[in-house]
Amino acid sequence: PRSVRGVGQMIMSAAKMSALAVPSSFTARIPFVHVRDVAQAALRVALESRAEGEAFNVNDDSLMSMVDFMRTVARIRGARFVELPPLPMALVRPMLTSAIQLSKLVPSQVAEHLPVIDEELTSSFGCDFVFSTDKLKQLGFEYLYPDAAVGIEETIAWYGEQGWLEG
């Protein structure tokens, strides 16, 4: 299972597009992690007595931005990638909020065909999400998938095999 919002939905939505465009100012970094690394990290922490009662961040070190992500998905899918002129985040968030309010006025038969904009996530849109994994690495943890592009490619291939990228 995957989350309703977040990276899984981002990958699926982007992978369905024949052309991907993103403003060059969308440089906020997105934390990625491969499920095998999550499992490996959980096992490492469970077997370490010095990790007992501690919290650990698990995300790869790729520091992929939204621009990098869209470019990567376009490359994997053979889609066109267009880097648009910069767009200030100070304008993007109010625009998203307005789009959400307008979408509430659209009849439900039409609204079901519009892209979903998550109201709860608009306030964090464009924020840089970087979490230190130094504490986990001090336990000797090493990533099997240190580059998010590899996991994104595997995920897109799997989504395709499930028929989730059709239509």
- According to the model, what pLDDT value does residue 120 have? 65
Q: What is the dihedral of CA 116, 118, 124, 129, to 10 degrees?
A: -70
Residues in a beta bridge with 65: 29
Query: Whole-angstrom Cα distance, residue 124 to residue 5?
Result: 13
The predicted-structure confidence for 84-104, as pLDDT tens digits, reads as follows: 999 888 888 788 788 777 777
Read off the amino acid at residue 162.
Q
Is pLDDT at 114 greater than 60 in this prediction? no
Is pLDDT at 39 greater than 80 in this prediction? yes
Sorting pLDDT into bands at 50, 70 and 90, what band is 107?
A: low
- According to the model, what pLDDT value does residue 75 have? 96
Is pLDDT at 121 greater than 70 in this prediction? no
The number of C-alpha atoms within 13 Å of 30 and in the hemisphere containing its C-beta is: 22
Of all residues in the chain, the percent with pLDDT exceeding 90 is 56
Per-residue pLDDT averaged across 40-56, rounded? 95
Is pLDDT at 40 greater than 90 in this prediction? yes
